[in-house]
């Protein structure tokens, strides 16, 4: 089962929707995933990739949120729009659990998803934060577990 680019985008979009839901109405991950996919016609590749991101983002949420908090100056994480906050979590998670995906690809995908699901400024905001994290990672000023 090889993922195509479109499969990964659909997986990221599904992951965002699930992370949004879990942020708004916290619950156990497994029932949330089951409910989300119940009436879906998504392929196994899309489901598998989305589930991996959601589980990773929730498992590493404390670390991810610390990375975001240390990067977003003059903002409290809970003050960032829910969509933007979860796109950022999803992308940082992907930096962490998908090291074979180039960070610039993760950032580009996050920007496109932010433009689709966020507000007019979401793409620029997400780009700025994720690029700052990418630079910190490349300069070894930040490390992810």
In the DSSP assignment, the letter for residue 28 is -
Residue 38 has pLDDT above 60, yes or no: yes
pLDDT tens digit string along 102-125?
Answer: 999 999 999 999 999 999 999 999
Q: Is the pTM of this model over 0.85?
A: yes
Neighbouring residues of 22: CB distance < 8 A, sequence distance ≥ 6 = 29, 32, 54, 58
At residue 92 the predicted structure's pLDDT band, cuts being 50, 70 and 90, is very high
Work out the pLDDT band at 73, boundaries 50, 70, 90: confident
* Position 3 confidence tier, pLDDT thresholds 50, 70, 90: low
Q: Topology of domain 5-138, per CATH?
A: N-utilizing Substance Protein B Homolog; Chain A (1.10.940)
Task: Give one word for 140, left, alpha or beta, with left for phi > 0 and alpha for psi -120 to 50.
Answer: left
Q: Exposed, middle or buried, 68 (CB in 10 Å: 0-12/13-18/19+)? A: buried
**C-alpha gyration radius of the chain:** 14
């Amino acid at each position: 089962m090889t993922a195509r680019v479109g499969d990964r985008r659909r997986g990221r979009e599904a992951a965002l929707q699930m992370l949004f839901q879990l942020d708004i109405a916290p619950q156990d991950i497994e029932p949330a995933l089951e409910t989300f996919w119940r009436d879906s016609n998504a392929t196994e590749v899309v489901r598998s990739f989305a589930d991996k991101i959601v589980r990773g983002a929730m498992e590493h949420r404390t670390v991810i949120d610390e990375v975001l908090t240390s990067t977003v100056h003059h903002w409290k994480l809970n003050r960032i729009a829910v969509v933007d906050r979860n796109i950022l979590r999803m992308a940082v998670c992907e930096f962490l659990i998908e090291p074979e995906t180039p960070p610039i690809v993760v950032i580009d995908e996050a920007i496109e998803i932010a433009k689709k699901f966020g507000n007019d400024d979401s793409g620029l905001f997400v780009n700025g934060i994720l690029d700052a994290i990418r630079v910190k990672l490349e300069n070894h000023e930040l490390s992810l577990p």
